[in-house]
Structure 1
C-alpha cells in the first residue's frame, strides 16, 4: 500500500516568450475597435475604380476606426513625401487611424543568400521610413524564403531580426503574418517569433492562409498539399499578436462563414487578452466588396461577446452530475467551485469527505492535491525568471551542477555503473524541466534503467531536494533532452532550482512569496493536528465498482509530519477557496485583490504551448484532449472533435491530480473551475468529462466544412 501511495505521489495523473499584450479583455458597451483591410477592395483598386484616397474615405463612411494599408497599391510611392503626407491628411479628414502597413514585393527576408537578405532588409527599410511618415506604428512583413524548414527558419531569424532592430529606432514594430510558405505553419512561425522575442517582433494572426505547401512548390496558385490546423495556429500566434486579420470568403444563409468557425477563432482571440484592432478583410467574390465587408464585420461583432456560461440551467446540471456520481457509489464525496467574470458562479458539495466517520464534504474540506502542486511550483520558478535569475534556454547545469554530466541510456542494467550510455545531443535546458522534455526516466521499460531507478530511491521522503537532485543527476536519461514528453520528476527539479536561486527552503519560499500574499492559509505540506478533522479521507474504486477507504496512516503519511522532502511535483494540501484564489490570480493575469504574484506577460508565457510538432512522443498527454503543453499546464489548442473528448475552450489551461482533482482557467470566458475529490485510480469514471460538460452544456461539433 505504501508503495502504491508513494508511486501516486511522484507520478500523479499518469492514467490518462511572447510579445507583451494586456490581460484578458472584458466586454464593454463599445466592443473592440475595427480596422478595414485595404485588400478587401483589391479588385477595384487594381482596376482603377478606386484609389488610395477613395479607400480611406470609404473606411470613414463605413464607420471603421482604422485602416490597414497595403503597399501594393502605391508600390512606387515609398519615398514620395507629398503623397504620404496627403494620405495621412486624408485619414485625419475621414476620422480613421492608419493602423498598419502591409509590405509585399520587397524581397525575401528568409532568403538563403545572405546578400539577398540584406538587400531585402534595405528595401523594407524604405517602407519603415514611409510608415514613420504616415504615423503608422506597425509594419506587416512576410518571412518568405526558399529551403528546408530549418534553413528558412535560420535565415528569417537573421533577416527579420536585422530589420526589427533597425525599425525599432524609428518607433516602428515589425509584425509577421502567416502568409504562405513555412510562415503558414503555426509551429514554424511561433518558433520564429520565440527566437525574435528580444527584438519585440509580433504577429499578424490571419484567420486563413494556413496552406504551407503546394503542388507547384510556390507560395500561391497550386493545389494545397499540406495545411496547418487554423484553430491550433491561431491559438499559437495570438500570444504574439499585434494584429488580427478577421477574414471571410463566403457566408451561409444565417451569416456564418462557410469554412471557418468564427466562435472558436474568437475564443483564441479572447483567451489571449488581445486588445488591438480587429482587421476586417473580405476576400470572397460572390458579393460586392462593400457588402462582403459589412457581413464580415457583422459576423465578427456577433462572435465577440461572451454569453454567461454558468446559467441557472448549468447550475442545475452541475448539481445533478455531481450528486449522481455520489448516489451511484462511484465516489464518497465531491465539491466544486466556479468563478465567472470575477464573481462566484457556482459552489456545491455532495456526499462525505469521510464516509466511515459520516463527515460531510464541505467547502473548507482539506484534500491532497497531488500534481496540482505543479502549477504552484511553476509560478514560484517564474517569479525568479522575472527577477532575471535565469533564462529558459540556460543549460540547467549552469544553475544545478548535479546535471552537468548526464548521459542517455543505451543498454545494460542493474546499476548506473554497468549500463551502456552515450552523450546527450544537447544539454538539458531550464525550459525542458518546465515542459517535461528533460529526458528523465519515469518508470517502465527498459528493465536495466528501471533497476537503477529503484535502487536510487528518488521517492524517499527522507531525501532533501538536494539529495534527490544528486541521485537523479547520476541516472542516465531515457531520451535526449527536448525530444520526448515524459511526465516525471522535472517539477521536483524546478523546486530544487527555486531553492538554489532564491537561497530559501522551498516550502518557506512558497509561504512567503505565494501563499501568505494571497491569503492561501490552508495550502501547505503538513496539516496541523487542529485541522485534521477537515482532512478528507482517500478512496480506491476497484474494477467491480467497490469503493474502499484507504487507511489514513498510509494515505496521509506524507502530510501528517514534516519530512525532509518538499517536492515541487506533489505533496501540497489545499481547500477549494485556497486553490480558487490561485486559479483566479492566474485568470487575472498574475494578480488578485491588489496583490501581484506574476506579471501578465509571464502568465501568458506559462500558458503558451512550448511543445513543437517534432515532439511526437507524448505519453498519455493526448488523452487530455487536443492540447499542447506550456510551463506546468496543459494548453487546449483546438476544440473537442467528439462528444467523448473532454469539453473545453481554445486557450484554456489546466492540470489535475492523482486523486482525480482538477482545475482549469478559461480566459476566453473569464472562468475558473476547481473540482475536489479523493479517488484512486485517477478518474476512471468520467468525472472530469461530465463535470466539464455540465458547465459548458451539450456537445456541439464544428460544422464539417469548418473542421
Structure 2
C-alpha cells in the first residue's frame, strides 16, 4: 500500500480530455521530460543521501514472425553495443519509442563550464537521440535573449534533434499561499513561456510547489498553474507537471490536481524515481525520506495524463539492470497506457561517466520496451502440468482454460470431467455458472449509459433511484434491541455502487442489521430488481458511504439503475447492447433443455479434500427457468469462448472485430483504481494481491511482493466467481485469460495462484529502493 494519507485517490470521474499521447497543432510529437533537482548542485536523486491448443496436449511453439524477430534482434544488439559508440536514430522507424536526452544528465559538466548548451545539443545528436529536454537552470539569465534562443534552436536543427520540452525551476512557486508571491511566480513562468515559444518547443514542464497542507497547496496550484496554462494554450504549448518534490510526489495528489486543471489540458511528466512525499528536514530535498509513495502505483496513476516520461536510472548490476527499480514492471505500465510519445533518458548515478550511464540507461530502456512473449512453449507445458495436476490429485473434477495473446489464441486445455456421475468430459463448449463474473458485464452496461450522458459517477444515486433518498447508517442496537441509526454524512453516489463503497450489508455478525437483511430476503428469485431496490432502500447501511470496501449488493443495484435509465429490462438490455453485438450467444441466465448435457456439474470440496458432486437440480436451480430476478451481481452462465470474447473486447479498449461496445476512455476509466488510500477497511480484497478497485474490476497497482501473492502484471484488471472461475485482462502484454471450474467453497486450493504462475513463470523479486 502507498503511504499517502491525504483524502485524495486518483480522480477518475472524468477521463483526461485529451489522448494519452497529446500532440499540439502542427502534428508535433508529444514531449517527454527528465527530472532534476533544485538550483545549484544539490544531490542527484530526489530520494538520495500463438499456438492453438488441443485438449490436454502440447503443440509446437509459436515462432516470431520475421519482422518481429528482426525488431527483437535490433533491440538486443543495440542493448549490447559499446556504450560510447555513435548511435543513429532508427528506433522509431521499427515501431519502437523515440528517445530524448535529459540535459540534467550532464549537469556537472554544464555547471562547471566544461560543456555549453550548444555542446549538449550537438552531443545528443551524435549519440543518436531524436530529441532533447532543456533545463532552464543552464541558461537562467538568457530568458529574454532572442539571439541566444534563436541560435540554440538553429543548433538543434543542425544536429537533427527536436527540442521536445523546456523544464522550469527557480521561477517561484505557482502554489504559493501568498497571492503576491503566486502572482510573481506566474509572471516569471510567463517569461519562460515566451522563451519556450521562441525555441519552438511544444511543452513546458513546471512544478506544483507551495506552502501549507495538501489542500492549501492544491487550491493555490489550481489558480497559479491554471492562469499559466490558459496563456500556454493560446500559444499552442502544453503545460506538464512532474512528480518533483513535496505533495507532487504523491500520485493521488497530483492526479487530483490534474483533474481540477482538465479544462486547460494540463498533463503530467511521469518520473520513474520521485516518490518521497515527506522528509525529516521538512524540505523538498535533502534529509531522509520518512514517507514514500509506491513508484509503480504512482506511475500507473500518472500515465493517463502523461505528456512525458522520465526514464531514470542510478546504478546497474552486472547484467545491466537497474538495482533499485524494476524496469520491466515500469515499462509494462507505460505500454498498458497506450503512451507513444518520447521517452526521456536521464542518468543520475555517480559510478559511471555521464555518457556511459546514459547509454546504459537507454540500452536498458530499449531492452525493456518490447512486449515479451508470455505464453510460449514453456508456459504451455506449465499450464498443462498445473491444471492436470489439480485433476489428478482430486482437487477438482474438471477444469479448462483459454488464453489469448496479442489477438491470437495461444493456449487451450481441458482436463477431467464436467459431470463425473454422467462421465461427461470437460470440453471447450462446456457451460458453467460464472457467478460474480456477471458483474463486469453489468459494469459495461452501466458505463454505456454513462457514455450516453445519462449520469455522472458522483451524482447522488437517489437522483435516479428515489428509493435510496432516505437512507440511514447503522449505529448499533439499543437496550430494547432496536437499531440505532443516523443520517449519512453525504449522499450515496453512483460511484459508490461501482466500487463497493455503498455501505450495503453483505453478511457478518451485526446485531439487528443481520436479522433485518435476512428478513428482507433481497435475493429471493421471485423479486424483481425494483422490488429488491425498494426493500434495500428501507434498510440501514452498514457504514458511511465511501469509507469502506464491502462486497455485495452494489452491482445488483447497478442492474436496477440500468433498467431505470434505459427503460428496458436488464436482461433485455445486456442482450441487445452487449451479448448479441459480440456474438455471445451462449452467455445466458437460462440454459435451454437442449444444452443441459453441456452444463457442468458443481462440486464441493470438504476440509479433508473429499470432492462431492452437488445435485444438479440444486446447483442449477437459478438457471433452469426464467425467474423475475435478473441480478447484476451473479446469475449468468457462459462458455470459455463466449467469455473470452468479452475479455478480448476489453483488452482492445471496447471494440472487437468492428463492433464497438465502449469507448477506449471509458474502458480506461473502468480499469483505474477508484479507492483512495483513506479507504483502509477493504474486507478480503487484499487477498487478491496488491490491488485497488475500479468499476467492477480489481486493478493491480503494484507487482507481487512475494512468491505467495497472486502473480500478475501492473495495470491488469480482473474478477472471479464463487465457483472458483477467473478471468483477467493484461493490457501491458495484450493478454486475456479465462479459467473455468465449478468448485465450492471458493478456491481453497490455490488454483488461481498456480494457474497465474503457470502463465507468467517463476516469481522474480523486485529490486529494493534503498537510496532512492
Q: 1:322 to 1:129 in 2, by over 3 A?
A: same
Aligned to 1:598: 662
Counterparts in 2 of 1:498-509, with a 5 A limit?
A: 498-509=562-573
CA deviation profile, 1:39-62 (whole Å, cap 9, x unmatched): 111112222222222222111111
> Which stretch of the first structure deviates more once superposed, 594-603 or 118-127?
118-127
Distance 1:623 1:242 in 2: 34
Q: 1:277 to 1:450 in 2, by over 3 A?
A: same
Instruction: Tell me the TM-score normalised to structure 1 length.
Output: 0.94
Task: Classify the secondary structure of the residue corresponding to 1:351.
Answer: strand
Task: Classify the secondary structure of the residue corresponding to 2:259.
Answer: helix
> Which stretch of the first structure deviates more once superposed, 150-159 or 283-292?
150-159
Counterparts in 2 of 1:239-638, with a 5 A limit?
A: 239-412=304-477, 418-638=482-702
Distance 2:15 2:151 in 1: 36
Q: 1:399 to 1:120 in 2, by over 3 A?
A: farther
Task: Classify the secondary structure of the residue corresponding to 1:111.
Answer: coil
| Root mean square deviation of aligned Cα | 2.1
**Out of 104, 112, 116, which is 1:47 matched to?**
112
Measured after TM superposition, the shift of residue 414 of structure 1 is 12
Task: Classify the secondary structure of the residue corresponding to 2:141.
Answer: coil
5+ residue gaps, structure 1:
1-16
Measured after TM superposition, the shift of residue 515 of structure 1 is 0.9
CA deviation profile, 1:92-117 (whole Å, cap 9, x unmatched): 22211221221212222222234433
Task: Classify the secondary structure of the residue corresponding to 1:75.
Answer: helix
- Asked if structure 1 preserves the Cα contact closer than 8 Å seen for 2:20 and 2:303, the reply is no
Aligned to 1:697: 761
Aligned to 2:743: 679
Aligned to 1:12: none
Measured after TM superposition, the shift of residue 413 of structure 1 is 7.1
- Asked if structure 2 preserves the Cα contact closer than 8 Å seen for 1:214 and 1:222, the reply is yes
CA deviation profile, 1:488-533 (whole Å, cap 9, x unmatched): 1111111122222222221111111111111111111111222222
Task: Classify the secondary structure of the residue corresponding to 2:133.
Answer: strand
Distance 1:140 1:104 in 2: 9
**Out of 276, 285, 289, which is 1:224 matched to?**
289
- Asked if structure 2 preserves the Cα contact closer than 8 Å seen for 1:413 and 1:452, the reply is no
- Asked if structure 2 preserves the Cα contact closer than 8 Å seen for 1:611 and 1:630, the reply is yes
> Which stretch of the first structure deviates more once superposed, 139-148 or 160-169?
160-169
Aligned to 2:194: 129
Task: Classify the secondary structure of the residue corresponding to 1:76.
Answer: helix
Aligned to 1:76: 141
Q: 1:445 to 1:124 in 2, by over 3 A?
A: farther
CA deviation profile, 1:38-87 (whole Å, cap 9, x unmatched): 11111122222222222221111111111111122222333434433332
- Asked if structure 1 preserves the Cα contact closer than 8 Å seen for 2:418 and 2:426, the reply is yes
Q: 1:197 to 1:256 in 2, by over 3 A?
A: same
Distance 1:556 1:360 in 2: 18
Distance 1:168 1:490 in 2: 42
CA deviation profile, 1:256-301 (whole Å, cap 9, x unmatched): 1121221121121122221111100011122222221111101111
Measured after TM superposition, the shift of residue 451 of structure 1 is 1.4
Distance 1:55 1:137 in 2: 20
- Asked if structure 1 preserves the Cα contact closer than 8 Å seen for 2:325 and 2:766, the reply is no
Q: 1:536 to 1:68 in 2, by over 3 A?
A: same
Distance 2:119 2:421 in 1: 79
Distance 2:479 2:682 in 1: 27
Q: 1:115 to 1:391 in 2, by over 3 A?
A: farther
Distance 2:186 2:589 in 1: 56
Distance 2:442 2:263 in 1: 26
Q: 1:389 to 1:410 in 2, by over 3 A?
A: same
Distance 2:197 2:527 in 1: 60
> Which stretch of the first structure deviates more once superposed, 82-91 or 385-394?
82-91
- Asked if structure 2 preserves the Cα contact closer than 8 Å seen for 1:65 and 1:97, the reply is yes
Task: Classify the secondary structure of the residue corresponding to 1:639.
Answer: coil
Distance 1:604 1:94 in 2: 39
Measured after TM superposition, the shift of residue 160 of structure 1 is 2.9
Distance 1:177 1:55 in 2: 23
Distance 2:624 2:154 in 1: 73
Measured after TM superposition, the shift of residue 167 of structure 1 is 2.5
Distance 1:166 1:418 in 2: 61
- Asked if structure 2 preserves the Cα contact closer than 8 Å seen for 1:462 and 1:565, the reply is yes
Q: 1:431 to 1:121 in 2, by over 3 A?
A: farther
Q: 1:48 to 1:659 in 2, by over 3 A?
A: same
Measured after TM superposition, the shift of residue 208 of structure 1 is 0.7
Task: Classify the secondary structure of the residue corresponding to 1:40.
Answer: helix
CA deviation profile, 1:140-159 (whole Å, cap 9, x unmatched): 22111222233323333343
5+ residue gaps, structure 2:
1-13, 22-66, 72-93
Counterparts in 2 of 1:77-92, with a 5 A limit?
A: 77-92=142-157
**Out of 175, 185, 194, which is 2:240 matched to?**
175
**Out of 260, 263, 266, which is 1:195 matched to?**
260
Distance 1:43 1:643 in 2: 42
Distance 1:606 1:123 in 2: 40
Q: 1:331 to 1:18 in 2, by over 3 A?
A: same
Distance 1:456 1:528 in 2: 31
- Asked if structure 1 preserves the Cα contact closer than 8 Å seen for 2:399 and 2:415, the reply is yes
- Asked if structure 1 preserves the Cα contact closer than 8 Å seen for 2:136 and 2:166, the reply is yes
Distance 1:388 1:313 in 2: 47
Distance 2:630 2:194 in 1: 56
- Asked if structure 2 preserves the Cα contact closer than 8 Å seen for 1:333 and 1:677, the reply is yes
Distance 1:76 1:391 in 2: 48
Aligned to 1:164: 229
- Asked if structure 2 preserves the Cα contact closer than 8 Å seen for 1:67 and 1:99, the reply is yes
Measured after TM superposition, the shift of residue 118 of structure 1 is 3.8
Distance 1:685 1:527 in 2: 29
Distance 1:380 1:162 in 2: 39
Instruction: Tell me the TM-score normalised to structure 2 length.
Output: 0.86
CA deviation profile, 1:312-354 (whole Å, cap 9, x unmatched): 1211111111111111111111110000111100000111111
